[in-house]
Amino acid sequence: MIAANVNHNINTGPQKKASSANRRKFGSGLIFHRSSFCAARLAKGYGFIMNRAFVLRLSVSRRRLSQLTSTRKESAPEVPIEIPKKIPRGPTDILRALASTVKIDYTAPHYRYKDDPFLIPTTNNAKRWFALSKESGRRAAMYFLQKYPELFSYDPAEPKIPGFCPTEEFIEGKDYLESDLISFIDNVRVIEAQSVFKYLQAQGKDISQETILSLLQLTAFFNCEKADTDCFPDERWLTLNQKAQKRTWSDGNLAEQLFELIKDKNAVAYGALIQGMAKHLHYTKAFALYEEMCSKGLTPTRNTYNYLLNCVYSVRDSESSRWELAKRLLIDMSDKGVQPNLITLNNLLFIFTWTGHSKNSKLNTLRTLAEMRAHGIEPSLATYLAVLMVFCKTSSANSDVFSEVLEFINENTLIVRDPRDVDFFRMAMIICHEHLVDKDLAYKVYTARRGFNRRRDTDAEGQAEFMGERLCGLRDSKVNEILEKNPDLIGNSYNHSHYYQHFFELLANAELIDVYMDVYHKYVPNIYSPELRVFVETLRAIDLNDAFRHLPQVWSDIVLSDYAQREQILTPVLALTARFKSTGTPEDDELQNRLVVIARDAQDRVNAANKRQKEKFIAPIFFTGEHVGNLIQTYLNAGEMKDAWKTVKSLVEDQREIVGSPKIEPLRQFVERSCADGKPDRAVFCATYCAEIGHVDVVDWMLTKAETYKFDESVRAKLNTLAGPSPRTPDA
């Protein structure tokens, strides 16, 4: 905007026209901060200045607009400002938020296996050794930290991590107080707490009843043994948590002595000892203490009932007696006003899984679920696991129940609330594979499927379009959102391996080969290292669908997994390489050459393994006659006569190391090709072996073709000898 004084000597005629044009252009909505300001436009060096009348009209319009605006502001309702309540934040909440934005990278190994690319493990055993070797290094570091704490005074961590700091040990001869005992109890130092307690007793120092009760709870829970509080996640991941099969409770231990020292034995003291005995499988004494507790009129705690319900299966033998004992405990809880929680009802549900798959078990399961709903208890994965084990883990599995369970899971955000929650996904996939044999339900467990519900067209074009949508939908789908957001739900490596094993086996037998291989390439070998049986099922699926194009990649994964020398792998792989024959297209020719490379690789690996094992006086790996026949057929299909001749020589010269004999067809083809290539000596060598295993017709065929291929007299003499009962004389 340009402010200018109006000169009376200037002709105002043209400016009136300009003012009129500007007024039409800008309208009355143009607002100036000062009434003396006006609009001007510069064009080709001429300046057009607005006159006073136009400035005055704009000033009046501005005041009118200001009045209207203020009127509207006065009439607008006031919106109250609500200050949100403060959300408590922990020291690691920012890290958790950042971690939630990172998704799984299927093209990279797990972070625990990241190293130099040459050292990244690919087999299950190699992954186990790699992770445990790292944990061994961490244990060594913890040992030196504990042994020489004075060398590690610098600690810049914020917040402080107690697990990474040296722990206080019990020192003989040091004067301890009750406060030291309380400190050891709070830090779950079981052995040190017991030592300090014995020291205080020996010194005759008084210990309060509250401290004795706290020590009782600690020693009873851990059976007076060292608590496993070390932070080694990889070791826990690779450890199979097997429940003890026999009693581990030590009679007369310090926990029982502490119980006797308590003067006023209340429900907490009884509950601590009962829970410890039940946890460490001393069921008889636990129930005896429970009876004693009830006879004194004490009300057991909810955790006490939970542990006792968990013991019902081992205390009683028959289904009816187990149910009667469980019902008695539940009635006692109701009479004494003890409200059940999730663990209580989950323990009850697992009793029904142990009592068989009768109608009573199913009915009681439904009643328990109704009871949970009545008490406002939200089920966990362990709840659904028990339901699946009752209704679906039978010969007459119910897929409707399974589908309803999956719907409940997809509608809720799940966290681990019961230690048995981590077994749900493994058991769900086992049921899908072994009992229901339903790949669609397996997909629901495995992935949130999108875009697979469209109508399937009957024509070929529609089928191809649907297949493309299915593949794209699988690639773009959010793979198992529940497990991605909560990786702890899968549990340990045992659950992880079994989950994917059953999923891949089911898809290999029930899914389209291209869809299955799409899932296979996504997860193998970084996320999941297949077991031997998964590779066998994959090769079987390739064989049934003539999907030879997938064999090179699968063979590469087999080599990485160190299964290349297994007979269960060699037999189907070599059968596939022998069965394929190029149609002459460039794609088929390339695939034929890749299959020849696979055959050579398999042959070289077995021969190298045999050589190593002979040097170590270990039983060698034997090729079978079927393997050798398939090798010869593979080389013949690709026109690799040099490799075929090498294999035939090995077959004849190393007969003692080959189990059985090959089929006659590849040997006959080798003889025919050798004759056609003008190498009758090789043909006679192979025909001699054929005659020895009872196929004299190969020799007869060569005799009939003697004139066609112009065999010399020596070759004809050998053939005449082979045609009779005389023994073979090989001539290479």
Amino acid at 474: L
Q: Give mean pLDDT, residues 457-470.
A: 38
Q: 699-715 pLDDT, tens per residue? A: 999 988 888 888 888 88
Task: Report if residue 686 sits inside a domain.
Answer: no
pLDDT of 30 > 70? The answer is: no
pLDDT at 684: 92
Identify the CA nearest to 349 among candidates 312, 387, 388, 314.
387
Residues 172 and 280 in one domain: yes
Phi first, then psi, for residue 624 (nearest 5°) are: -95, 165
543, two tokens = 């064989």
Q: Could you give phi then psi for residue 29, rounded to 5 degrees?
A: -80, -5
Q: Which residue has the higher pLDDT, 46 or 329?
A: 329
CA-CA distances (angstroms) from residue 514 to 394, 538, 596?
31, 12, 23
**Percent of the chain with pLDDT strictly greater than 70:** 81
pLDDT band at 535 (very low <50, low <70, confident <90, very high): very high
172 lies in some domain:
yes
Q: How far is CA 248 from the centre of its chain?
A: 33
- How many domains does the chain contain in total? 2
Residue 223, pLDDT score: 93
Check pLDDT > 90 for residue 39.
no
CA-angle at 275, arms to 272 and 280, nearest 5°: 125
pLDDT-based confidence at 159, cuts 50/70/90? Answer: confident
Residue where one domain finishes, among candidates 249, 279, 298 = 298
69 has a pLDDT exceeding 80: no
Q: Which domain holds residue 285?
A: 168-298
Distances (CA, A) of 212 to 174, 253, 268, 592: 21, 14, 12, 78
Position with higher pLDDT, 654 vs 30: 654
Same domain, 61 and 183: no
Mean pLDDT computed over 315-344: 92
10 pLDDT above the threshold of 70 = no
SS3 per-residue string spanning 374-400? HCCCCCCHHHHHHHHHHHCCCCCCCHH
Indicate the residue type of 135.
E
Q: Give me the amino acid identity at 281.
A: L
Asked, for residue 553, whether it belongs to a domain, the answer is no
Note whether residue 202 is domain-resident.
yes
pLDDT of 664 reads 93
| Final residue before a domain boundary, out of 239, 274, 298 | 298
Whether the per-residue pLDDT at 56 is higher than 60: the answer is no
Q: How do beta strands 46-48 and 623-624 pair?
A: unpaired
Please report whether residue 271 resides in a domain.
yes
pLDDT at residue number 564: 93
Cα–Cα distance measured from residue 390 to residue 621, given in angstroms and rounded to the nearest whole number: 46
User: Can you tell me the distance from the alpha carbon of 317 to that of 307, in angstroms, rounded to the nearest whole number?
Assistant: 18
* Residue 275 reports pLDDT greater than 90: yes
Mean pLDDT of 590-604: 96
- 42 within domain boundaries: yes
Asked whether residue 172 falls in the same domain as residue 292, the answer is: yes
Which tokens belong to 48? 């057009």
- Residue-wise pLDDT tens digits, 405-450: 888 887 776 778 999 998 999 998 999 998 888 888 888 886 532 3
Cα–Cα distances (Å) from 185 to 166, 265, 336, in that order, read 17, 20, 31
> Which has more pLDDT, 178 or 40?
178
| Per-residue confidence (pLDDT) for residue 649, from 0 to 100 | 94
pLDDT-based confidence at residue 673 (cuts at 50, 70, 90): very high
Q: Confidence band (pLDDT; 50, 70, 90) for 278? A: very high
What 3-state class would DSSP assign to 484? helix
* CA nearest neighbour of 420 among 217, 237, 243, 273: 243
Specify the pLDDT at position 484: 59
Taking residues 555-583, what's their average pLDDT?
95
Residue 34 gets which letter from DSSP?
S
Residue 538 pLDDT more than 80? yes
| DSSP, residue by residue, 103-165 | ---TTS--GGG-S-GGG---SHHHHHHHHHHHHHHHHHHHHHHHH-GGG------SS--GGGS
- Residue range 79-135, pLDDT digits in tens: 788 888 888 888 888 988 898 888 778 888 888 888 888 889 988 889 999 999 999
Residue 264 clears pLDDT 80, i.e. is over it: yes
Contacts of 239 by beta carbon, 8 Å cutoff, 6+ apart: 492
Q: Looking at 215-224, 325-334, 460-469, 497-506, which range is the least confident one?
A: 460-469
Flag whether 64 is in a domain: yes
pLDDT at 487 over 50: yes
Domain closes at, from 298, 332, 347 = 298
pLDDT of the residue at 470? 41
Amino acid at 484: E
Confidence of residue 29 (pLDDT cuts 50, 70, 90): very low
pLDDT tops 70 at residue 469: no
Which of these, 451, 372, 445, lies nearest to 406 by C-alpha position? 445
- 122 and 529 in contact (C-beta within 8 Å)? yes
Note whether 674 and 686 are within 8 A (CB): yes
Take residue 576 and report the two structure tokens written for it: 């596939």
Judge whether residue 677 has pLDDT over 50: yes
Please report where in the chains the tokens 């034929």 appear, as a residue. Answer: 592
Distance CA 715, CA 732 (A): 12
- Percentage with pLDDT > 90 across the chain: 47
- H helices present in 190-301, as ranges: 190-202, 209-222, 233-238, 254-261, 267-279, 283-295
Query: What is residue 489's DSSP assignment?
Result: G
Q: How far apart are the C-alpha atoms of 406 and 156, rounded to whole Å?
A: 47
pLDDT band of residue 241 (cuts 50, 70, 90) is confident
Angle between helices 513-523 and 460-476 (to 10 degrees): 20
Query: How confident is the model at residue 586, as a pLDDT?
Result: 94
Judge whether residue 244 has pLDDT over 80. Answer: no
Residue 231 resides in a domain: yes
CA distance 624 to 107: 38
Q: Position 182: which residue type? A: I
Q: Is 622 exposed, middle or buried (0-12, 13-18, 19+ CB in 10 A)?
A: middle
As a whole number of angstroms, the distance between CA 153 and CA 625 comes to 69
Residues facing 686 on adjacent strands: none
The answer on pLDDT for 48 being more than 50 is no
| Confidence label for 227 from pLDDT (cuts 50, 70 and 90) | confident
- Residue 63 has φ and ψ, to the nearest 5°, of -65, -40
Q: What is the pLDDT of residue 165?
A: 82
What is the per-residue pLDDT for 440?
A: 85
Are 635 and 641 within 8 A, CB to CB?
Answer: yes
Q: What is the pLDDT of residues 72-82, one digit of tens each?
A: 445 556 778 88
Strand partners, 41: 48
pLDDT value, residue 35 = 38
Handedness of CA 347, 353, 358, 363 (dihedral sign): positive
- Classified as helix, coil or strand, 455 is coil
- The overall average pLDDT reported for the chain is 82
